[in-house]
Amino acid sequence: MTPVRRSGPDLTEAIMRTTLELGQELGYAKLSIEAIAARAGVGKHTVYRRWSSKGALLLDSLLSRGGSALDYPDTGDLRADLRRQIQEAVGLLAKGPLSPLFKALVGEAQHDPGIAAALNERFIAPQAAKTVARLEAARDRGQLAPDFDLDLAMAILSGPLYFRLLITQEPLTSDYVDRVLDALFAGMGPRP
């Protein structure tokens, strides 16, 4: 029986799928390009032609699974919209089966400037832009103080979540998300 040769998008998809499967089994520290290539049935040079490092491959693999699809609803209720989006992010980053790999990727970004730049460009910055755009829409409707610093609001929203996710490793509960939103809304609401 002749093996089926894959190329292009099918091969890329198979390598990324294998990366996530093997990463979940072994953990990021034990994951290697050689192991990924062997499990995917390709040579390691095939992998290296597409990705410069294990971190770059993991980033693409994670983002291919919806890691960049955290969109904001706009129901007119800013607090509810922020809560829903944050809960989706928590589900992806802290509670889902790929959570350990997301955490490992953020850790890798601390040592690899290329991964840090790609993670920021392809995941962090787009999510921050979506948050700021949603806050701008609320400000334009008079739901926020007109002079409130929206970039600061983004930092206040994300900082406590990443702190728990990466530093203290305490659970990211719905109650905690509500407390973060309470603190933020106390400072950015319209003033009489």
Domains of the chain: 8-50 (1.10.10.60), 64-188 (1.10.357.10)
Residue 191 has pLDDT above 70, yes or no: no
Q: How would residue 101 be classed by pLDDT, with cut points 50, 70 and 90?
A: very high
The distance in angstroms from the start CA to the end CA of the chain is: 77
Measure Cα distances from 89 to 27, 83, 139, 188 in Å.
21, 10, 23, 22
In the chain, the amino acid numbered 38 is A
pLDDT computed for residue 190 by the predictor: 63
Does 189 score more than 80 pLDDT? Answer: no
- Residue-wise pLDDT for 68-81, tens only, equals 457 778 898 999 99
The stretch 19-45 carries a mean pLDDT of 95
pTM of the model: 0.81
pLDDT value, residue 24: 95
Dihedral of CA atoms 97, 104, 175, 180 in degrees, nearest 10, equals -140
**pLDDT given for residue 2 in this prediction:** 35
- The highest-confidence range among 30-39, 65-74, 97-106, by mean pLDDT, is 30-39
Inform me whether the pLDDT recorded for 23 exceeds 50.
Answer: yes
pLDDT of residue 188: 64
Using one digit for the tens of pLDDT, what is the confidence trace for 128-184?
998 899 999 999 999 888 888 898 889 988 999 989 988 998 988 889 999 999 888
- The pLDDT tens digits of the residues spanning 108-132 come to 999 999 999 999 999 899 889 988 9
Report the pLDDT value the prediction gives residue 4, as an integer from 0 to 100: 41
* Token pair recorded at residue 77: 């209720």
Element (H, E) at 33: helix 33-40
Q: Is the model's pLDDT at 84 over the cut of 60?
A: yes
**The pLDDT of residue 7:** 65
Encode pLDDT of 35-61 as tens digits.
999 999 999 999 999 999 999 999 999
Confidence at residue 93, expressed as pLDDT on a 0 to 100 scale: 81
Helices 33-40 & 54-62, crossing angle to 10 degrees?
50
